[in-house]
Homo-oligomer: A and B are copies of this chain.
Amino acid sequence: MEVKVLRLDHRRVRDARITTHVCLTARALGASGVFLSGDHDKKLMENVQDVVKRWGGNFQVEYRKNWGNLLEEWKNKGGEIVHLTMYGEQVQDVTPQIRSSPRDKLVVVGGSRVPSKVYQEADWNVSVTTQPHSEVSSLAIFLHMLYEGKELNMEFEDGNMKVIPSANGKNVVMN
């Protein structure tokens, strides 16, 4: 099952850091790419690609102005859509069902106001707690539960840098 993330309604100035964290969280926790919608923020995309180059693995960042077309395309290719929203069904209730379907998943994380079309097109609207917090933490918890923690042992190939876990300091290997 391939997992990609769609970030809706990115605003260049206001969202630069949050959207960067969404992209890096997607990558670190096992998604294979992010689609950005909203502002076409080339700088942000370059920053993420730079992390991929230095730290390894395969991860694509792609701009899609028209996210409606993307949802349609994704479904036409047999994929399914998971929309993370605080109003959805609880992640602990629906993740086993989502995991049991082998189809590719597009995980949609919103901006401030998500159009109702997204709720309608989604195969699952999923809430991580029903409290307000962060699209970054919702994405992290969802991916972690989807992969049942196995994503924490993932290896990133062909990077220039690698951290060796350490109890007390920093141990970074450069290739």
Residues of A whose CB lies within 8 Å of any CB of B are 14, 17-18, 21, 24-25, 27-29, 51, 55, 86-93, 116, 119-120, 124-125, 127-134, 136-141, 144-145, 149, 151-154, 156, 162-172
Q: Are B130 and A163 in contact (CB under 8 A)?
A: yes
**How many angstroms between the C-alpha atoms of A93 and B149 in the bound complex?**
12
**How many angstroms between the C-alpha atoms of A27 and B129 in the bound complex?**
11
Task: For A14, list chain B residues within 8 Å (CB).
Answer: 17
- Can you report 17 A-B residue pairs in the complex whose CB atoms are below 8 A from each other? A14-B17, A17-B17, A21-B137, A24-B132, A27-B131, A28-B132, A28-B137, A29-B129, A29-B141, A87-B165, A90-B165, A124-B167, A125-B167, A129-B154, A138-B140, A141-B141, A144-B144
Q: Are A92 and B169 in contact (CB under 8 A)?
A: no
Given A17-B18, A18-B17, A28-B132, residue A90 in contact with residue B152 (CB < 8 A): yes
Q: Are A172 and B87 in contact (CB under 8 A)?
A: yes
How many subunits of this chain does the assembly comprise?
Answer: 2
Known: A17-B18, A27-B133, A28-B128. 14 other contacts (CB 8 A): A14-B17, A17-B17, A21-B136, A27-B131, A28-B131, A28-B137, A29-B141, A87-B166, A87-B172, A124-B167, A125-B166, A128-B152, A130-B163, A137-B140
**How many angstroms between the C-alpha atoms of A92 and B152 in the bound complex?**
7
Task: For A154, list chain B residues within 8 Å (CB).
Answer: 129
Q: Are B130 and A162 in contact (CB under 8 A)?
A: yes
